[in-house]
Amino acid sequence: PVQAYRVGERVYTTQFHPEPTPADFIERMTVYRNDGYFDADDFDVIADRVRPAELDAPLTLLRTFATRIAL
């Protein structure tokens, strides 16, 4: 499977989303709570596990990528 690719000289895209924060994931969980992605009864347990996550790596990845491709 293709995870990332470039179109032309300056358009890049990825299959993943490195930008969401723990709050963003919990908001998304709220929207999809009853759609079968996870047991709705487990919402609080999952949210409690997600909330304290420190997500420095995705921001570092994006900044490094932007620095390397900047013209």
* pLDDT per residue as tens digits for the range 32-69: 999 999 999 999 999 999 999 988 888 888 888 888 87
Give the pLDDT confidence score for residue 17 in this predicted structure: 79
CA angle 15-39-54, nearest 5°? 50
pTM (predicted TM-score)? 0.66
* pLDDT per residue as tens digits for the range 14-29: 887 778 899 999 999 9
Domain parsing of the chain, residue ranges: 19-69
Give the pLDDT confidence score for residue 60 in this predicted structure: 87
Is pLDDT above 70 for 71?
A: no
DSSP 21: -
DSSP 8: T
Q: Which of 7, 29, 21, 24 is nearest to 58 (CA)?
A: 21
